[in-house]
Amino acid sequence: MKTDICIVLFTSLILGSRPSAIAVTSDSLMCSGGIVSLGDVASDLVNKCGPPTYTTQREQKIVDGGDSTDERIITIAVIDDWTFNFGPDRFQYHILLKNGRVWKIDSLGYGY
C-alpha cells in the first residue's frame, strides 16, 4: 500500500514538473520595454519586445455576418505569425497579428 502511494506521488511529481507543450492564450504580454496588449500595432510590439525570433506571413479569408449567404461579408486579412524566444528562463510567446495589429497572444513553453 505504501509503495503504491509512493509510486503515484513520484509519477505526479515527474509529470507535473515537465514543461507543458500546450499554448495558453492571454490578453497581454510583459516585455522589457513595456506591456503589449491585444489591438497594439506591430511597431509597438517590436519596440517593447525586440525583433521576433521567427516570422511567417499569410493571407486568410475572414467571413463575417449572418447565417445566409446574402448577409456574409468576406474580406482578406494579412496574418503575421511571430514567435518570441526570451531565453531559457522565460516563456516563449506566439503572437498573431491581423492586418498589423496584435490579434492573439499565446504563451508557449520555456525558451532556449
Q: Is residue 68 scored above 50 in pLDDT?
A: yes
* pLDDT: which is higher, 89 or 13: 89
- Is residue 32 one of the residues assigned to a domain? yes
Task: Give 9's DSSP letter.
Answer: H
With CA atoms as reference, report the closest residue to 88 among 103, 109, 62: 109
Does residue 42 form part of some domain? yes
Structural domain containing residue 76: 23-110
Is 8 domain-assigned? Answer: no
Distance of CA 67 to the CA centre of its chain: 30
| Residue 96 belongs to some domain of the structure | yes
Strand 34-37, strand 54-64: pairing: unpaired
Number of domains forming the structure of the chain:
1
Whole-number pLDDT of residue 17: 43
Residue 11: inside a domain: no
Asked if residue 56 belongs to a domain, the reply is yes
Q: What pLDDT digit, counting tens, does each position of 76-87 carry? A: 999 999 999 999
